[in-house]
Amino acid sequence: MFNRYGVATYTYGSGYTNQWHGQSNSGQELPDGTYYYVIDTTDGQTRTGWVYINRER
């Protein structure tokens, strides 16, 4: 996951199974905003997209 400035906020190697819940690599809750992802699949394809975090306070 990357923030809007292109800084990596969360990374995970192979075998990912829903570990990301809006936290940084250090486990801190990320602020509201748009985050972008790049996924390299096992069949050699690359998937990209974005998610928006909007937490209720």
pLDDT (tens digit per residue) in 3-34: 999 999 998 877 777 888 899 999 999 999 99
**SS3 state at 5:** coil
Here the tokens at position 55 are 């937490």
Q: How many domains does the chain have?
A: 1
pLDDT at 20: 87
Residue 13: which of 42, 34, 49 has the closest Cα? 42
pLDDT at 37: 93
pLDDT (tens digit per residue) in 28-55: 999 999 999 999 888 999 999 999 999 9
Integer Rg of the chain from CA: 12
Here the tokens at position 49 are 């997209």
Angle at 40 between CA 43 and CA 2, to 5 degrees: 170
pTM here is 0.80
- State the residue range of the domain holding 51: 1-57
